[in-house]
Amino acid sequence: MLVAASMQPLLAQDYPAKTIRLIVPYPPGGTADMLARTIGQKMADRLGQQVIIDNRPGAGGNIGADLVAKAAPDGYTILMGTVATHAINPNLYANMPFDAAKDFAPVVLVATLPNLLVVNPSVLAKNVKELIALAKSKPGELAFASAGNGTSQHLSGELFKKMTGVDMIHIPYKGSAPAVTDLIGGQVQLMFDNIPSSLPQVRAGKLRALAVTGPRRSPVLPDLPTLSEAGLPGFSITSWFALYAPAGTPAKILLRLNKEADKAIASKELRLQWMDQGIEPAGGTSDQLSEFRRIEAPKWEKIIKESGARVE
């Protein structure tokens, strides 16, 4: 009994003693994946152990998140959680496989960013007003892509439909990368995408950007209006990403993870890299992330009710 009782502090003290698995609940190529790979490498350098990225997409992020929720609480399986897994899905899905508040231990808020309204260059709309007019002239003919049901991209499109009265078809994909590919190819006409996924295509002239969904303009596209400025006052949607561990993870391990992740986020190299992609680095304590999620959940509940979004 004495040996067993002494094991938990010893395990926490020796952490990490092996490879850490960082679950990304979306396919490679999207913003969550990119953030996980960059912060994962920085954390690995600081922790002295490899951090491997394990993509587990499906069900709007619920499959990967559920895997972490049910993993051993030892700090060796952690999650790149998102606004979808921890604020949207609990309000959108009738049956959730996990409790976003109770089944996870918060580590750190990684980053925030607005979505970008982009269209295929063949779409005859140079601004938001023209896009609304075009959609109204062709009810049910325009299709907007998203990274999946329940994502902020999906909800951005649903809120846009609700506020403008347009009729558009939602085409959910398994991640941003395949959605952007089809948008460039013309299989869909528009998308509200995380800035990092579409910004290179905008810069290359393969997509046309019309507006950002956040409360203020993006520093990487300063001439692009917000949707609120473009004629939809009050439209404000921001994506966010955060690290979580399974509930019950020892406090010392959580503190170590938070310390190294926060220092990685604060590094000049990472901050400059992310900011050039339209990402706003966050950081802070695990308690700050817990409070942030507590405030975000009812915001998204309101957006879901206003947009009428639902998952079949």
Answer yes or no: are the C-beta atoms of 30 and 199 closer than 8 Å: no
Helix 128-137 to helix 152-164 angle, to the nearest 10 degrees? 70
Distance CA 26, CA 297 (A): 21
Q: Which CATH class is domain 114-212?
A: alpha beta
Q: Is the pTM of this model over 0.85?
A: yes
Helix H or strand E segment including 195: helix 195-203
* CATH code, residues 2-113+239-307: 3.40.190.150
β-pair type (208-212, 77-82): unpaired
pLDDT along the chain (312 residues), means of 10: 44 85 94 96 96 94 97 98 94 92 98 97 97 97 93 93 96 91 97 94 97 95 97 94 98 98 96 95 97 93 83 67
Instruction: Parse the chain into domains and list their residue ranges.
Output: 2-113+239-307, 114-212
Length of the chain: 312
Predicted pLDDT of residue 310: 73
Answer yes or no: are the C-beta atoms of 68 and 275 closer than 8 Å: no
- Quickly tell me which residue has 């890299």 as its tokens: 273
Q: To 10 degrees, the CA torsion angle through 83, 278, 288, 26?
A: 30
Predicted pLDDT of residue 9: 46
Is there a shared CATH topology between the 2-113+239-307 domain and the 114-212 domain?
Answer: yes
Predicted pLDDT of residue 312: 59
Q: Of 202, 198, 95, 219, which is closest to residue 156 (Cα–Cα)?
A: 198
Predicted pLDDT of residue 11: 52
DSSP 177: H
Predicted pLDDT of residue 94: 85
Written as one string, the DSSP assignment of 271-294 is HHHHHTTT-EE----HHHHHHHHH
Distance CA 163, CA 192 (A): 15
DSSP 3-state of 61: helix
Predicted pLDDT of residue 3: 43
Predicted pLDDT of residue 111: 97
